[in-house]
Amino acid sequence: MDWQTLQADCVDFTQRLIQTPSMPYEEAALAELVLAEMRRLGFDEVWQDGIGNVNGRIHGQDRSLPALVLNSHLDHVDPGDPALWSSPPFAGEIVDGRIVGRGACDIKGPLAVQVYSMAALVRMGIRPLRDVVFSGVVQEEIGGTGALYWIEHLDYPVALVILGEPSNNELALGHRGIVQMWLQFNGRSVHASAPQKGQNPNYALSAFLQKLLGVQSELSRHPYLGSTTVSPTIVEVDTRSPNVTPAWTRVLLDFRTASESTNSLQAFVHRLAGDWPHGIVNAWTNEPFPASDEVVYGFYTPPESDVVQRARTAVTQGMGRESALSYYQFATDGRHFVPYDIPIIGFSPAEEEQAHIADESISIAKIAESLRGYVQLLRDF
């Protein structure tokens, strides 16, 4: 195997991916690029589904076996102010051994590695033990509509999904789940010149946030996936007039947990909100949460499981060093696959701290190492 050529081709593909902007709902040009690349590389099947996800398949020796699926997404977050970047965000320039650009880390570099690890098998004339499928989904950055469409229309069995989300060439075994709730404080609106005649809910919100800051440590912790956290993000009021006190104010609370339920989180919030008139709704549905004591989590694949042990053995052999086990801080599309009982892990050359920042980048050396790990995994799993 000519690893140097494989690496160079993968780097070139990463640059071309970065040079093709693909914000959510605007993935069409990138989808065409990926489809054309997989056809050119000799994949056995290449297709696009009804929502715009792109797929490529290499046939295995035993096609009756459940497939190995490599999952990435096509979209990226907004690059923000170009002045904050040392090079243009869509140039894909190489600086000090790293490819720089929006999406380099999340997730175009890892996407290129997944595609080119499959291409390596074609170049070597090797059939994997089972079918290997690449799945590049749309709209991951805004909730995962593409992944939901993929899993709901899946018509073949899957042995394992490998996420391309940043893991620094470690095997990521899970992440916490997301609960986003609007907490609304209700008051009585009056002219701002006579505040004593009303009831300004901004004061209740301020008191709540101060309490929240001091008691987050009371939330529980998962032994592997970490502590439950909560971040107040968006604050809204019912009026845009500067001389009117609001009738209500609300804050979006973003909880990340693998050890709390929606019932326990709501009880926590109600306790801090106290007696001031308030209410809670699900930020995704704008409806009250159904009563549930079920623990919320993203996904979790136990380290002692057979799939983890087999994947770790293969990746370790391919990279020439042991791959550590880790967990994601952020959420992934993996959470959408959990109800279907499909094992999930993450493996990627990208570093989590590079995601969504100005001057986002990915290491070419880690791309090369990841390619070797992926190729061995595809051969052995």
Q: What is the pLDDT of residues 41-65, one digit of tens each?
A: 999 999 999 999 999 999 999 999 9
Looking at residues 348-359, what average pLDDT do you find? 97
User: pLDDT tens digits for 91-149?
Assistant: 999 999 999 999 999 999 999 999 999 999 999 999 999 999 999 999 999 989 999 99
Looking at residues 255-259, what average pLDDT do you find? 95
Q: How far apart are CA 118 and CA 58, in angstroms?
A: 7
Q: How far apart are CA 252 and CA 126, in angstroms?
A: 51
Q: Is residue 379 pLDDT above 80, yes or no?
A: yes
Number of H-type helices and E-type strands within the chain: 8, 18
Percent of the chain with pLDDT over 90: 97
Q: How far apart are CA 163 and CA 334, in angstroms?
A: 7
Q: Where exactly are the structural domains of the chain?
A: 3-175+298-380, 177-282
Per-residue confidence band for 1, with pLDDT thresholds at 50, 70 and 90: confident
- 96, two tokens: 């000090």
Per-residue confidence band for 297, with pLDDT thresholds at 50, 70 and 90: confident
Decide whether 3-175+298-380 matches 177-282 in CATH topology.
no
User: pLDDT tens digits for 182-222?
Assistant: 999 999 999 999 999 999 999 999 999 999 999 988 999 99
Residue 118 near residue 135 (C-beta atoms within 8 A) = no
Q: How far apart are CA 244 and CA 205, in angstroms?
A: 17
Preceding omega of 367 cis (within 30 degrees of 0): no
- H/E stretch holding 367 reads helix 364-380
Q: How far apart are CA 330 and CA 309, in angstroms?
A: 24
CATH 1.10.10.10 is the classification of domain 3-175+298-380: no
Helix, strand or coil, per DSSP, at residue 228 = coil
Q: Is residue 170 pLDDT above 90, yes or no?
A: yes
What's the whole-model pTM score? 0.87
| H-state helical runs in 84-227 | 109-124, 145-152, 201-215
What sign has the CA pseudo-torsion 37, 39, 40, 43? positive
Residue 45 near residue 60 (C-beta atoms within 8 A) = no
What sign has the CA pseudo-torsion 336, 340, 341, 343? negative
**Long-range contacts: 233-242, Cβ < 8 Å, 24+?**
235/205, 237/202, 238/189, 239/189, 242/192
Give the CA angle between residues 258, 351, 314 to the nearest 5°: 80
Q: Spelled out in words, what is the top-level CATH class assigned to the domain 177-282?
A: alpha beta
Which are the contacts of 117, defined by CB distance < 8 A and separation ≥ 6? 70, 371, 374, 375, 377, 378
Give the CA angle between residues 199, 204, 208 to the nearest 5°: 175
Q: Is residue 10 pLDDT above 90, yes or no?
A: yes
Sheet of 248-257, strand order:
229-237, 248-257, 177-186, 278-282
Q: Is residue 239 pLDDT above 80, yes or no?
A: yes
Q: Return mean pLDDT, the chain.
A: 96
Residue with tokens 């050529």: 5
- H/E stretch holding 56 reads strand 54-58
Residue 175 near residue 327 (C-beta atoms within 8 A) = yes
Q: Give the per-residue SS3 of 241-292.
A: CCCECCCEEEEEEEEEECCCEHHHHHHHHHHHHCCCCEEEEECCCCCCCCCC
Give the CA angle between residues 135, 138, 142 to the nearest 5°: 135
